[in-house]
Structure 1
Amino acid sequence: MRTRHLLPALLATVLVLTGCSGGSDSSEATGGDEAKLQERLATAKKTLDTAETINLALSTKQLPDGITGLLSAKGKGNHSPAFTGTVNVVTGGASLGADVIAVDGKVWAKTGFLPDFTAIDPDDLKAPDPAALVSADAGISQILVKTTKLRDGGQSRDGKDVLTTIKGVLPGDVVATIIPSASAGQTFQVTYRLDDDDELRDATLSGKFYPEGGKVTYTVAVSTSDTPVSITKP
C-alpha cells in the first residue's frame, strides 16, 4: 500500500522539478549577461575604430533571381574613409567584377572592358560605397553597439582559435547605412564571432536586403593592422 502511494508522489515531484528547470535551456541572455555581451561588442568596435588599416571581405553565396546588387567586396581601407580592392556585383543576370578605389566620397572602377579607372555611382548597382564600410562610427563597426536582444550563441572553432558567438537583432535603418538597398523598416538577424581579445572575426547578417527579393545573408570577415595604408584617387 505504501508503494502504491509513494510512486505517484515521486512522479509528481519529478514533474514539478522538471517544470522549474525548463527555462535553463533558453539562449536568451539575462540582464547581467547581456551587459557583458554589450561590453565585449563595444571593445570590438573600439579595436576597429582605432586600427590604422582594416582588411575586409564581404560576400553572399547568391542573390535572388533578377536582383541587381552586391555579390562580394574584398580589400583594405582606412578611416579617411578610403578603400581599395575588388568588387563583384550582379546586374542583368550576370556577375561583373571590377577593381575599385573609393576615396573622398567618390568611387572609381576598372573592369575588363574599361581599361582605365572610371568614376561610377554605386547606387546604380544597388551597392554601397565600399569606403563607407570602413568608416569609423558609421561603417561596419557601428552595428556592434546598435544590436539588441543579445544572447550567447556558444563557441565555435576557426582553425586553432576558439571563438565566442554572440547573436542579436539589428534595425533595418542601421543596416541600410551599410548596404543602402536594405529594407529600413525590417529587422535583421546578426551573428558575431569574437576571439579571446574581443576582436571581431566575422559578422553574418540575414534579412531583406533587396525589396524585390527574399532573405539574403551577407558575411563580412575583418582583420586589423597597425600599419597605415595610403589610398589616393586614380
Structure 2
Amino acid sequence: MRTKPLLAVVLVAAVIGLSGCSGDKKDSPADTSKLQARLATAKATLDGAETITISLATEKIPSGVSGLLSAKGQGNHSPAFKGKVTVVTGGTSLGADVIAVDGDVLAKTSFAPVYLSIDPATLKAPDPAALFDRTNGITQILVKTTKLSDGGKSRDGEDVLTTIKGTLPGSVVKTIIPSADTSAAFKVTYRLDDNDVLRDATLSGPFYGNAGNVTYTVKLTTSDTPVTIEAPSRPGGA
C-alpha cells in the first residue's frame, strides 16, 4: 500500500489551505473601489446640504500645549460658521461664542461685552468657517484617505454602521488642525450608515508636535433648511 505518499500529499494540501486562510485579510482592488465610492457619496451628501451642524472635539489637549479642545455649531458653504469654540491655552480652558464669515473670525468670551477679531492660528486652531469649504474643508478627507480597509459592522443604537479605516497625509490634516505634523501619517476611521451618510469620523496622530498622539472625533449632520450667518456689529460700527 502507498499510504505514506498519499498522506504526505494530504498534509501538504492542508498546510497550503491553512496558510491561505491565515493572517490579515487584504482588501482586493474591487473592495477598495467600493469603499472609495461610499466615501465619495458621503462627501457629496455633505457638500450638497444647505446647513451642516458640526462637532469637532478631543477629550484633552496634551499638557503644556495650546490647541483646539472643541468646536460645535452650524455652518454653510459660504463658508460661514456660528457656534461655540473652546481652546486650551496656558493650561486653561477658554470658551467663546464665535462667528466666522468673510475670512474674519470674531469671538466673544463670557467676560467680553462685544465680539472681537481674533487670529485662530495663534491658538493652533482652525478658522471654523473654512471647515465648510467644499474643496479644502473637512469633507475633503473623505476622498483623500488612502490604504482603505473594511473595519466591519458596528451598532449605534438601532442602526448598523459600516466602519472604514484608512490613512491621511499630514498635509491634508493640517488644513483641519493647523498644528498637525505635515510629515506624519494620521489614522482615520469613518462610520457610515446603509445610505452612505457619515455618522462620525475619528482622526489620530501628532497634532501637536512631539506632545504625543491626539484623537479628534468629528460628527456632522445635515439640513436642507438654510442658516443665515452674518458678522455681528462691533464697536465704532465696524
* Structure-1-length-normalised TM-score: 0.94
Cα distance between partner residues in 2 of 1:121 and 1:33: 43
Q: Is residue 233 from structure 1 mapped to residue 238 from structure 2 by the alignment? A: no
Contact 1:67 1:212 in 2 (8 A): no
Q: Which amino acid aligns with 2:228?
A: S
Contact 1:44 1:199 in 2 (8 A): yes
Given candidates 127, 130, 133, the residue that maps to 1:135 is 133
Cα distance between partner residues in 2 of 1:182 and 1:229: 30
Q: Which amino acid aligns with 1:30?
A: S
Contact 1:165 1:191 in 2 (8 A): yes
SS at match of 1:114: coil
Q: Which amino acid aligns with 1:203?
A: A
Cα distance between partner residues in 2 of 1:20 and 1:126: 48
* Corresponding residue of 1:197: 195
SS at match of 2:136: coil
Cα distance between partner residues in 1 of 2:164 and 2:5: 49
* Corresponding residue of 2:14: 14
Matches within 5 A, 1:83-102: 83-102=81-100
Shift of 1:13: 3.5
* Corresponding residue of 2:56: 58
Matches within 5 A, 1:147-162: 147-162=145-160
Q: Is residue 82 from structure 1 mapped to residue 80 from structure 2 by the alignment? A: yes
Worse-superposed segment, 70-79 or 7-16: 7-16
* Aligned residue-pair number: 232
* Corresponding residue of 2:209: 211
Q: Is residue 177 from structure 1 mapped to residue 206 from structure 2 by the alignment? A: no
Cα distance between partner residues in 2 of 1:34 and 1:136: 23
SS at match of 1:136: coil
Contact 1:84 1:101 in 2 (8 A): yes
Q: Which amino acid aligns with 2:66?
A: T
Cα distance between partner residues in 1 of 2:32 and 2:20: 23
Cα distance between partner residues in 2 of 1:85 and 1:76: 6
Contact 1:81 1:131 in 2 (8 A): yes
Cα distance between partner residues in 1 of 2:118 and 2:19: 61
Over the aligned positions, Cα root-mean-square deviation in angstroms equals: 1.6
Given candidates 138, 160, 163, the residue that maps to 2:161 is 163
Given candidates 32, 35, 60, the residue that maps to 1:34 is 32
Cα distance between partner residues in 2 of 1:80 and 1:13: 63
Cα distance between partner residues in 2 of 1:83 and 1:18: 55
Contact 1:201 1:221 in 2 (8 A): yes
Tell me, which stretches of 5 or more residues in structure 1 are unaligned?
none
Contact 1:49 1:137 in 2 (8 A): no
SS at match of 2:222: strand
Q: Which amino acid aligns with 2:143?
A: V
Q: Deviations along 1:122-146, whole A, 9 cap, x unmatched? A: 0111100011111112111111111
Cα distance between partner residues in 1 of 2:201 and 2:106: 27
Q: Which amino acid aligns with 1:107?
A: V
Worse-superposed segment, 45-54 or 209-218: 209-218
SS at match of 1:44: helix
Shift of 1:186: 1.0
Matches within 5 A, 1:102-113: 102-113=100-111
Shift of 1:11: 3.9
Q: Which amino acid aligns with 1:80?
A: S
* Corresponding residue of 1:116: 114
